[in-house]
Copies of this chain bind each other. A is one copy, B any other.
Amino acid sequence: MSQEIINKLREDAGEIFMAGLRAVDPIYAVKRVLKLENSTLEINGRMYDLNLYDRILVLGAGKAGASMSRAVEEVMGDIITFGHVNIKYGHFDKVNKIALHEASHPTPDSAGLHGAKIIYDTLRNTNEKDLIIFLLSGGGSALLPLPAGEISLTEKQQATSLLLSCGATIQEINTIRKHISLLKGGQLAEAAYPATIVTLIISDVIGDPLDAIASGPTVPDPTTFKECISVLKKYDILDKIPKSVIEHINKGVNGFIRETPKSDEKVFDKVQNVIIASNMEAFKASKEKTVELGYNTLILSTMIEGETRDVAKVHTAIAKEILKSGNPVKRPACILSGGETTVTINGNGLGGRNQEFVLASAIEISGLDNVVVFSGATDGTDGPTDSAGAVADGFTVKKAIGLNMDPLEYLMNNDSYHFFINMGDLITTGPTNTNVMDVRIIIVV
């Protein structure tokens, strides 16, 4: 196959990726679900008669908060009463009415705490004549820190660090975090009741579980104070966790403070949670583009996890099967695969999970003249690099050897960034202000 055709396939992969990215751009995603016509606000098909509300408040937290705010203002600027959204330092956008409140991520700081208090106080002073548009995106948990009871922000962080280091699962950690916070685990909805809340969500969690994205502030919490004690006992850290945390949990167990709200409680009667951007939303748009380009497309899964180089082996095994037997899809074929893999670092190179995926795949497809592998992070930042990902084909290994680079050596050293920068095969998008995990694209013709 000529270099010209391979270049066309690489271009196709790039276009397919960009089509996905556009669909999960916060501005585009907000405007897709939020429509204002006369005095009716339509949100994802549900109608809100604005004559029933005295005030429209825009609140929120997350790394995409600035862009989401701008989009909301562009749709309904005039009718917003006021707004306050916690964002990450430096992630500004053009807004007029909504106050963007900068704070620290991933480690919360006092600025975040201050912003969270403003939001909490605002919510506590709403009534049934208020409509709240709540903007939630990745980082929304760290950017909305409000410890419960006598717990300080530092003690809350100590508890989280301790849980992380003892091997607790993310579910177990979230069980505790929801019970030592004032806004997580449905408590934001509780604070706002009986106001109406619509939460617009950009999902950066595998499987889009509403109760896990930014710790589900407007979603019923299935976990309990009792379960918190079980977790602390399981990892034998009852006497290591800060005293204020234990005391708070014990108060909950003994009924002195309220449980987080459960699914049958009325506080959720006036809540609408809408995922406006997710890995699947990106895939829907990417798939449309692939069809336009003439591919037979299979969405493998948006929930892929696991060690990157082994995940790559499964993907390239599918590519080889397509070549050999036309299973699981006939050529010209495109496989879309999402989620977020992990990299166990054994070397001292520079790279990210997407670049490492493409490097490991390049080794597996070496010599096949009709396969292109592309992988990119939708936030534009793959690991600690300034690149979103990389692209490779069946000639990549040969070309690398010609440049005196041993691909396997780069892989073993977790140095995919330097491999692809030398090859000229890095994908660079700049920050996209969104994050719906990764998009992997395998093209086989």
Contact = CB atoms under 8 A, between A and B. Distances in A.
Contacts of A306: 309-311, 313-314
Closest 8 CB pairs of A and B: A310-B310, A306-B313, A306-B310, A301-B321, A299-B327, A303-B317, A301-B317, A307-B310
Contact of A314 (B314, B325, B328): B314
Contact of A301 (B299, B305, B318): B318
A300 interface: yes
B321 A302 contact: yes
Interface in A290-344: 298-307, 309-311, 313-314, 317-318, 320-321, 324-325, 327-328, 339
A206 to B, nearest CB: 8
In this complex, which of A303, A304, A311, A339 has the most chain B Cβ atoms within 10 angstroms of its Cβ?
A303
A320 B306 CA distance: 15
A52 B96 CA distance: 93
A135 B343 CA distance: 44
B325 A280 contact: yes
23 contacts: A207-B320, A299-B321, A299-B327, A299-B328, A300-B318, A300-B321, A300-B327, A301-B314, A301-B317, A301-B318, A301-B328, A302-B324, A302-B325, A303-B317, A303-B320, A303-B321, A304-B314, A305-B313, A306-B309, A307-B310, A310-B311, A311-B314, A328-B328
A304 to B, nearest CB: 5
A397 B335 CA distance: 32
Given A299-B321, A299-B325, 13 more contacts: A207-B320, A280-B325, A299-B327, A300-B321, A301-B318, A301-B321, A301-B327, A301-B328, A303-B324, A305-B317, A310-B310, A310-B311, A328-B328
